[in-house]
Structure 1
Amino acid sequence: MSSPTVLRRRLGGELGKLRASREMNAKDVAAALGWSASKLSRIESGLVSLQERDAAKLLAHYGVSSPEEVRQFLSLTRQSRQQGWWHAYGDALPDWFRAYVGFETDATKIVTYQCELVPGLLQTETYARHVIRAMNPTESTEEVERRVALRMDRQHILNRQDPPQFWAIIGEAVIRRPVGNGPAMAAQLRHLALMADEKPNITIQVLPFSAGAHAAMGASFSVLSFSDIPGSVAYSEATTSSTYTERPAEVARHEDTFLRLMASSVQPEKSVTWLRKVAEEYET
């Protein structure tokens, strides 16, 4: 079954199609219902939950009167409000990151470029602990451990029966910057090499310093695709916020950037060899 996040996106997409079929302007619809334009935009993008009463208002405004059609919309609305597995982690998961975890859970393909750190889905527990502690210096040990547990739990998608295709490009700085001590960093790099070797759904490339200026200077991002809903989602993250877009032109630009990064990066097999070589350097 799809996660609540993906169900919200499906619901929002259907509501957006309804509005477009009525040739109604989003700003005018929001004003007519006493909402802000941003609220309607976030509903149609699937980034926020929709109350059944608000769904009913939208349907009435769009002139949907078929009892069966109303029932289907309200049923989807209820399903989209259910809690995902990640809600058990409470405040360990920031509000702005919840949508991403939901998308990640249901994605069939994920491509990501990371210029500063190993992607969360490929981090070892020790590496994750050091990263989370560094980024949250005032948190208690208990809070840090909850965040580490959440990150490890997210990785289950790579081991399930129908794992997503996961293609990661990491900048050379990621493998050169020591996170923790030498053995910890060596273990992380060996883990990356092992995952790329043993998991047919995982591909890793390293973007070398020698590539010079490239298509994503200083900007990490991910693009997630799904099997049961059309379109992809492009995601980028800052320290305390995130940006999502599913506009075809913007998603296409992210996908084109990733293709350019692939061309500038070391080929997968040679990247794995390089990861193991640098791991040996950390152990000496």
Structure 2
Amino acid sequence: MDKVSPEVKKRWGLALKKLRDERNLTQAALGRRLGLKGTVISNLECGVTKPSKTLLRQLDQTLETGGELERLWKSMTDDGQLPWLGRIAELEQEALSILEFQPLLIPSLLQTESYAEAVMRAVTPWESDSLIQESLRERMERARRFQSNSAPIMVVVLGAAALDNLIGNHAVMAEQIKQLYSLASEERITLQVLTCNRHPGLVGSFKVIAPSSGPEVVYADSAIRGQFLDTQAEVGQFKLRFGRLQAMAQPPDQSLVLLEEKIEGFE
């Protein structure tokens, strides 16, 4: 793809910085080994510029990574294989509506900071603290932007397990569910809790995004990375799946009662 989002460049730059730091090299020292100025390395690590194919190979060879940086860049920029925080942030910000199903976790746009950090540390315990904090900052910016605006419209079907899974501790869960209750009771979102075990959402979490311009797209999560689906047939299938999940879930008013019960249980 020609256009690379700022999130992609920043996250790849953080990976470069981590590898450089592990080898006790300054930006200037690494630049000298490559015949470049230290400012070139600084711009790469800060996400100001993107690496060329030649520079990717040179960086891997100089840092002796076994091709790690080149593989990471490819996985983050290949069409259809975009990173979790790449284009998704841009689409969410410009969307007219979002239909989201989450079976195990609170949707990222609705998370509190303490809940989001606990999720990140549980899911990627090997990540450096600096990378987790950078990812957390990006997620909270997205969440605050969404929660402080009246658009996009968001409809959420949430698996009951997301309310039962103890993420962090009881205080973290109580705070998170209170925020969810506030957003739903004030009608910033429409929330329905799914209490049955057999349903069309067993394929995993997904969201259907209707942009302000252009066709609807589906963003489906996986264990490795998120994937965009944009053919009419694929989007139609996921919209049917979401409609079925809504029909099987508790209505919004009853879902609020369930949230109240969960808050009491965690306090």
User: Is TM-score (shorter-chain normalized) higher than 0.5?
Assistant: yes
Normalised by the size of structure 1, how large is the TM-score? 0.65
Quick one: which of 83, 87, 102 aligns to 1:114? 102
SS in 1 for 2:167: coil
Deviation of residue 162 (structure 1)? 5.0
Show the counterpart of 2:123: 135
Instruction: Letter of the 1:265 partner, please give it.
Output: A
Task: Tell me the C-alpha RMSD between the 2 structures.
Answer: 2.1
**1:228 lines up with 2:185 in the alignment:** no
Deviations, residues 190-223 of structure 1 (Å, cap 9, x unaligned): 110001112x341111100xx2311121411110
Structure 2: runs of 5 or more not aligned: 16-74, 77-82
Residues 253 and 281 of structure 1: CA distance in aligned 2, closer, same or farther (over 3 Å)? same
- Equivalent in the alignment of 1:275: 259
Shift of 1:156: 3.5
Corresponding residue of 2:239: 255
Determine the C-alpha separation between the residues in 2 that align with 1:171 and 1:240.
21
| CA-CA distance at 1:127 after TM superposition | 0.5
Identity %: 28
1:222–1:235: 8 Å Cα contact kept in structure 2?
yes
Cα distance in 2 for partners of 1:149, 1:191 equals 18
Structure 1 residue 227: deviation in Å? 2.4
Within 5 Å, give how 1:1-284 maps onto structure 2. Answer: 48-49=1-2, 81=3, 86=7, 89-91=10-12, 95=76, 96-97=83-84, 98-159=86-147, 161=149, 163-198=151-186, 200-208=187-195, 211-229=196-214, 231-283=215-267
- 1:163: how far off? 1.4
Paired residues, what number? 200
Deviations 1:66-124 (A, max 9, x none): xxxxxxxxxxxxxxx4855x468534798322122221121110011011111000011
Native 8 Å contact 1:164 1:201 kept in 2: no
Moved more, 111-120 or 217-226: 217-226
Give a deviation string over 1:171-196, Cα, whole Å, max 9, x none: 01110110011111111111100011
The CA distance in 2 between the partners of 1:115 and 1:194, in whole Å, is 20
Q: CA deviation at 1:152?
A: 0.4
CA 1:268–1:146 in structure 2 vs 1: closer, same or farther (change >3 Å)?
same
User: How far apart are the structure 1 equivalents of 2:158 and 2:147?
Assistant: 21
Is the partner of 1:217 in helix, strand or coil? helix
In the alignment, the residues of structure 2 paired with residue 169 and residue 162 of structure 1 have an alpha-carbon distance, to the nearest angstrom, of 19
How far apart are 1:276 and its partner, in Å?
A: 1.7
**Cα offset, 1:126, TM superposition:** 0.5
Unpaired runs of 5+ residues, structure 1, are: 1-47, 50-80
Q: How far does residue 155 in structure 1 lie from its aligned partner after superposition?
A: 1.4
Q: SS in structure 1 opposite 2:218?
A: strand
* C-alpha distance 87-217 of structure 1, shift in aligned 2 (>3 A): closer
